[in-house]
Amino acid sequence: MSVGLVLVSHSRALAQGLADVARQMAPSVSIVPAGGTDDGGIGTSFDLISAAIAQADQGDGAILLYDLGSGYLTASTAVEFLDPEQAERVVIVDAPLVQGAVSAAISSQVGGDLRAVVSGALEARRADGPGGVRSLDDLDG
């Protein structure tokens, strides 16, 4: 078992594509996309997210990452509807979606527990990336 990931996005294609990317470095982690509305439109779906949590959490817990605010609202509603015992091991993390998913997936792949995977997602925002503008000061300098 390992800690699973639920990727909440307003777009089915975005969530699916991100799952494909994250699985490359974490082939044994349950990474479940939950993008778009029930009929594949732009939006988020309580039912899709709930089903994704059920699939991602195999007992060791799961983290949810999201793209925009209303994704958080739907995700937090879904977590609230879980039975309390499961809700304790399902965590919504405010992290950059793509880099957070890859970083968290690797943390889980190497055997990290729920805390380690949450930490992995959060570290994505601090990780020293390969380059590019990192602040407005860089832009001016």
Partner 1 sequence: MVCDAATTVAAIRAVAATVAEHRVELTHLDRDIGDGDHGENLSRGFTAVITKLAAGSPETPTAVLKLVATTLISTVGGASGPLFGTAFLRASTSVGAAETLDGTAVAAALTAARDGVVARGKAESGDKTMVDALTPAVNAANAAADGGRGVPEVLSAAADAAADGAVATTPMQARKGRASYLGERSIGHVDPGAQSTAYLLRALAGAAAG
Catalytic residue ranges:
10
* Helix (H) / strand (E) containing 8: strand 4-9
Amino acid identity of residue 14, one-letter, is L
Residue count of the chain: 141
13 binding partner 1? (CB under 8 A): no
Amino acid identity of residue 24, one-letter, is Q
Could you tell me the smallest distance in angstroms from the CB atom of residue 104 to partner 1?
23
Rounded distance between C-alpha atoms, residue 91 and residue 134, angstroms: 28
84 binding partner 1? (CB under 8 A): no
Give the x-and-dash track for 18-57 against partner 1 (CB under 8 A). -------------------xx--xxxxxxx----------
11 binding partner 1? (CB under 8 A): no
Rounded distance between C-alpha atoms, residue 87 and residue 14, angstroms: 26
Residues that bind partner 1 (CB under 8 A): 37-38, 41-47, 68-70, 73-74, 76-77
